[in-house]
Chains A and B, each alone.
Chain A
Amino acid sequence: MPFIEIKGVSYVYPLREGVSLKAVKNLTLSIEAGEFVALTGMNGSGKSTLAKLLNGLFKPTEGEILIDGISTADEERIFDIRRRVGMVFQNPDNQTVATLIEDDVAFGPENLGLPRDEIIKRVDFALQAVGMSEYRKRDAAKLSGGQKQRVAIAGVLAMRPDVLILDEATSMLDPAGREEVMGVVRKLVDQGITVINITHNMEEAALAKRVVVLRKGRLAIDGTPSQVFSSSLLESCGLTLPPAAALAKELKDSGIDIGTVTTEESFAEGICKLLK
């Protein structure tokens, strides 16, 4: 049985008297334990809504979501769901709870009722992983945009969730920070954690094994990065190719075919092969 099962799920936001908005529409999708999935699509296509459905923050208006067999609508198990599905929100300001950074990161593990030394171990690990150890005694509210994002990621890492959902968690990071965080993600994937990375960065999406694309609340494309990037639906989903792949395509249109390119490395190799 897949670890995450989304079965015919819809979600409706009530807007005002008599007006509502269906943000997710009859979505069916399953994700196996240990998968590394990128979730992408136009602004407003339903990605963040889906993320909040997955960790039980929202309940499906229709259909059902099972996490390791537990329904997210099961109020008695909600604590279990939250513990298993950790989420880094799109706006890190929504996420800080304590004043000191280390307390903020410790908040989750403390709520799990873990022993003191285990909490300390986890906080150390998480702060280290995002490169914020030296800031641990600092005020969590008084950070730059990218620093806040790092602390938010650390807070979720310290929970050691089975499923990690990152909602545009790298959007404010500098290139080095982005690489660091993606390095941590890859390590977590190697350890068997299921990762769902919501991103508008196509190079980052290409790092995942599977890319799921939403469009107006529905599933539009689901496949490997190279399948998705060669899909005829790509443009209608508001997406583009990663820069190197886009250039390879332009060169092909000029008669120079360097083959399928998803990474910069494969671009360079393709060019070199042709020139040899």
Chain B
Amino acid sequence: MQAVEIKNLSFVYSKGTPNEKLALDNIDLSIEEGSFVALIGATGSGKSTLIQHLNGLIKPQDKKHSSVIVGGKNAADKKTLKTLRFEVGMVFQYPEYQLFADTVEKDVAFGPKNMKLPADEVSRRVKRALETVGLDYNEFAERSPFDLSGGEKRRVAIAGVIAMEPKILVLDEPVAGLDPAGRAELLALIKKLQKEVSPTVILVSHNMDDVAALADRVVALKDGRIVADGAPRDVFSHRAFIMHIGLDLPTAARLVDKLEKKGITLSKRIITMAELKDALLSIFKKRAKKRGNNMGYAQINAVTDGNKNADENVEECDGASPVDEKAKGDESSPVSDEKAEGDGAKDENDSGSAGGGEDV
């Protein structure tokens, strides 16, 4: 089933004024239930505008030609709007927009209460949601959500959304402002929620490491248009294209490129640090074998150090052997490099710049 079906969606801000801005330009996008989609794109590319259509905060301007169907409901339909908002939990880019009550407790309870859940269930959910986002209930329940630190506000906003146990989670830069430990916890939490409560997740993020680690599909926007749509591994393998749309690579891919410049060739399909680690370990292992050393990597340092002089003239880095077999044959990346070229970015017919991304 499709969790989201967007057809022909365009959106113009401040129509007819000097501020007029085409923020979305003919978007077609379907999202399968159960998928984890990352929405990426440079500042101003239209991400926040797009997702605000998903729970009817922004309505399609051209009702005749465009439609936004979410969980089987028309997001522009007033009659189902309330239930739609129970099903689509949205964490805004700036949590301040989301907070309104005079205590943290009331703020988080607002959604579940509106859903007409029994009082004891509401209070159970509020407590659980606050603990889940790392806020001590006793310490924070009576505080005003406006008198909190930036990261604490964000946590309250997230708690308010997960307390509703929505089927679809829409998160606009949810980890911005969280400390590194909190960020790692939240990302793990999102993954867990997807398994247990909210099967469909749409994540807007500028952090390509998070995108690479979490998403099974990446949709990239540029100037309000979809310019790439595919598995993260495929999309990120189009190096020049990623730069062209004003984005960056995941750290692991950037390191692969840096190593390549130094003559160490690894697969361009490596996108996570875990994959990079495996690839490097396997190179070191092979190296140790080639040298007739089968003692395992624990010995590698000693060996390399001992051979320093002998190695000095050898351009070994160039020979440092190529590809990480594992990343290539990995289940999660069934596509060959060949196919990825056509698949990773969207068809040329759809947008001038995609497909041949590498040439841009």
Contact of A43 with B150 in the complex, beta carbons under 8 Å:
yes
Say which one of B58-66, B162-170, B293-301, B331-339 lies at the interface with A: B293-301
Partner of A144, one of B48, B248, B258, B316: B48
Name the residue of chain A whose CB is nearest to the CB of B49: A144
Known: A172-B206, A276-B311. A240 touches B251 (CB 8 A): no
Contact of B42 with A256 in the complex, beta carbons under 8 Å:
no
| Contact bitstring A146-172, B, C-beta under 8 A = 1, else 0 | 110010000000000000000110011
Name the residue of chain A whose CB is nearest to the CB of B143: A15
Q: Which of A145, A243, A267 is the most central at the interface, judged by chain B CB atoms within 10 Å of its CB? A: A145
A113 at the interface (CB under 8 A from B): no
Partner of A255, one of B176, B180, B251, B297: B297
Cβ < 8 Å to A, chain B residues 1-56? 13-14, 18-19, 21, 41-44, 48
Residues of chain B lying within 8 A (CB to CB) of residue A250? 277
Say which one of B279-287, B342-350, B352-360 lies at the interface with A: B279-287
Partner of B301, one of A137, A139, A239, A256: A256
Contact of A254 with B43 in the complex, beta carbons under 8 Å:
no
Min CB–CB distance B246 → chain A (angstroms): 5
- Tell me, in angstroms, the Cα distance from A147 to B176 when the chains sit together: 15
Task: Please give the number of chain B residues whose Cβ is less than 8 angstroms from any Cβ of chain A in the complex.
Answer: 68
- Tell me, in angstroms, the Cα distance from A90 to B42 when the chains sit together: 20
B178 at the interface (CB under 8 A from A): yes
Task: Please give the number of chain A residues whose Cβ is less than 8 angstroms from any Cβ of chain B in the complex.
Answer: 59
Residues of chain A lying within 8 A (CB to CB) of residue B155? 43
Contact of A244 with B255 in the complex, beta carbons under 8 Å:
yes
Contact of A175 with B300 in the complex, beta carbons under 8 Å:
no
| Contact bitstring A81-114, B, C-beta under 8 A = 1, else 0 | 0000000001101000000000000000000000
Name the residue of chain A whose CB is nearest to the CB of B46: A144
Residues of chain B lying within 8 A (CB to CB) of residue A264? 251, 254-255, 258
- Tell me, in angstroms, the Cα distance from A174 to B48 when the chains sit together: 13
Name the residue of chain A whose CB is nearest to the CB of B92: A145
Contact of B283 with A275 in the complex, beta carbons under 8 Å:
yes
B177 at the interface (CB under 8 A from A): yes
Known: A145-B48, A171-B176, A275-B316. A93 touches B43 (CB 8 A): no
Contact of A91 with B150 in the complex, beta carbons under 8 Å:
yes
Name the residue of chain B whose CB is nearest to the CB of A149: B43
A66 at the interface (CB under 8 A from B): no
A13 at the interface (CB under 8 A from B): yes
Contact of A43 with B48 in the complex, beta carbons under 8 Å:
no
Cβ < 8 Å to B, chain A residues 257-272? 257, 264-265, 267-269, 271-272
Contact of A255 with B298 in the complex, beta carbons under 8 Å:
yes
- Tell me, in angstroms, the Cα distance from A254 to B282 when the chains sit together: 12
A200 at the interface (CB under 8 A from B): yes
| Contact bitstring B219-253, A, C-beta under 8 A = 1, else 0 | 00000000000000000000000000011100110
How many residue pairs link A and B with beta carbons under 8 A? The number is: 174
| Contact bitstring B168-202, A, C-beta under 8 A = 1, else 0 | 00000100111111111000000000000000000
B87 at the interface (CB under 8 A from A): no
Partner of B178, one of A143, A174, A178, A200: A200
Contact of B320 with A175 in the complex, beta carbons under 8 Å:
no
Residues of chain A lying within 8 A (CB to CB) of residue B150? 43, 48, 90-91, 167-168
| Contact bitstring A213-254, B, C-beta under 8 A = 1, else 0 | 000000000000000000000010011100110110011001
Residues of chain B lying within 8 A (CB to CB) of residue A90? 150, 177
Residues of chain B lying within 8 A (CB to CB) of residue A243? 209, 251-252, 273
- Tell me, in angstroms, the Cα distance from A145 to B205 when the chains sit together: 12
- Tell me, in angstroms, the Cα distance from A276 to B309 when the chains sit together: 10
Show 24 residue pairs from A and B whose CB-CB distance is below 8 angstroms, ordered by the A residue: A42-B151, A43-B149, A43-B150, A44-B148, A138-B19, A144-B44, A145-B173, A171-B177, A174-B42, A202-B180, A240-B180, A240-B184, A244-B255, A251-B277, A251-B280, A255-B296, A256-B280, A265-B258, A267-B258, A268-B259, A268-B262, A271-B262, A272-B263, A274-B300
Known: A145-B93, A175-B208, A256-B284; 16 extra A-B contacts, CB below 8 A, are A42-B179, A43-B155, A44-B148, A48-B149, A137-B18, A172-B43, A176-B246, A243-B273, A255-B298, A271-B262, A271-B280, A272-B264, A272-B317, A274-B284, A275-B316, A276-B311
Residues of B with Cβ closer than 8 Å to A? 13-14, 18-19, 21, 41-44, 48, 93-94, 96, 142-143, 147-152, 155, 173, 176-184, 206, 208-209, 246-248, 251-252, 254-255, 258-259, 261-264, 273, 276-277, 280-281, 283-284, 287, 296-301, 304, 311, 314, 316-317, 320
Which 8 interchain pairs have the tightest Cβ spacing?
A43-B151, A146-B43, A175-B248, A255-B298, A268-B258, A238-B181, A255-B297, A240-B180
